Amino acid sequence: MTVSHIFPHLLNGLSLGLLFALIALGFMLIVGVMELINLAHGSLFALGAYFALTIIDPSLSWFTAAEDSYTALPLIYRYGLALILAPLLVAVVGMGLELCMRRTYGKKAEYGLLLTFGAALVIEESIRLTWGPTERYLQVPEFMTGAMLFAGLIYSKYKLYAVVLSIITIFLVWLFLERSPYGAIIKAGAHDSEMVRALGINLTKLRLLVFGFGAGLAGFAGIVMTPIWGLRPHVGIDAVIPAFLIIVVGGIGSFWGAVIGGILVGLSVGITGAYASDWSLLSMYLLLIIVVTFRTRGLFGKKSILEN
């Protein structure tokens, strides 16, 4: 096994890791601030992609002329619109879910888990009823499609684009959390919600916005990932499991934990995928076991209020 042989796989694992980190971001935010494992994360991920599907290629049978002039727009405009609008729509759905969640606050964690699990089923079934059960294809602009040659191997242009988009999104979320007053409030809310409330900040509104933000990020990740994974009503299950695993590996509530956790999972899946492919899915669970054995709170996890 030479360096030139393994290098493409390291690069691939890294890029895969950044995509995993993007998937986990919204999940991390909701767990960190709301102490809630959102099992509907995967369904919101799928919903984002389906909203984008409709925004890019709507079927307005009630107003054919409008549809014709809209679909005449270049794909890049419709795709750009979908990239902004679809996550916002998912955020609205997420906020609706948060309103339902309120009766579970202060009760056992199982109530929240059950509610989000139920919501995941409802969302998935709604997708099936609305868009049908068959495989769908999310169009992307022409310049993102095709392949490129690097060091004698072919890489997907779209994957490169997805990785760049992931890096930008991770940076923007970091900027928001670390360099904006809103981010400071969110982090404070995660650390000590009672104190935040005592300072006069409306915690109810904060939770609503954070849930919406997390859901929007899930929807955004769905738009980015489904041109690679394919789009079907149950695609969300492919997202929620790695997302959960990544935040446990990285440490619950830790931003960089989610990013590093994602990269580690990506590297383990990427390397085993090349050299022991039958272990590629199992490798992420082995990584989880190893990390949790030595650091119960994950790589960057601090003592959380969940432990109080």
If binding is defined by CB under 8 A, does position 278 make contact with another protein? yes
Sequence-distant (≥ 6) Cβ neighbours of residue 275 within 8 angstroms? 1, 9
CB 57 within 8 A of CB 234: no
- List the one residue out of 18, 59, 52, 229 whose CA is nearest residue 140: 52
If binding is defined by CB under 8 A, does position 12 make contact with another protein? yes
**In the complex, what is the shortest distance from the CB of residue 133 to another protein, in angstroms, rounded to a whole number?**
6
Ramachandran angles phi, psi of 300, nearest 5°: -120, 15
Q: Is the dihedral of CA 20, 155, 147, 137 positive or negative?
A: negative
Q: What is the DSSP letter of 251?
A: -
If binding is defined by CB under 8 A, does position 66 make contact with another protein? no
If binding is defined by CB under 8 A, does position 8 make contact with another protein? yes
Distance CA 187, CA 185 (A): 5
Here's the x/- map for another protein, 178-217, by CB under 8 A: it reads as ----------------------------------------
If binding is defined by CB under 8 A, does position 134 make contact with another protein? yes
If binding is defined by CB under 8 A, does position 143 make contact with another protein? no
If binding is defined by CB under 8 A, does position 84 make contact with another protein? no
In the complex with another protein, the residue whose CB is nearer, 261 or 301, is 261
Partners of 155 in beta bridges = 148
If binding is defined by CB under 8 A, does position 234 make contact with another protein? yes
Binding site for another protein (CB under 8 A): 5, 8-9, 12-13, 15-16, 132-137, 145-147, 153-159, 227-230, 232, 234, 238, 269-274, 277-282
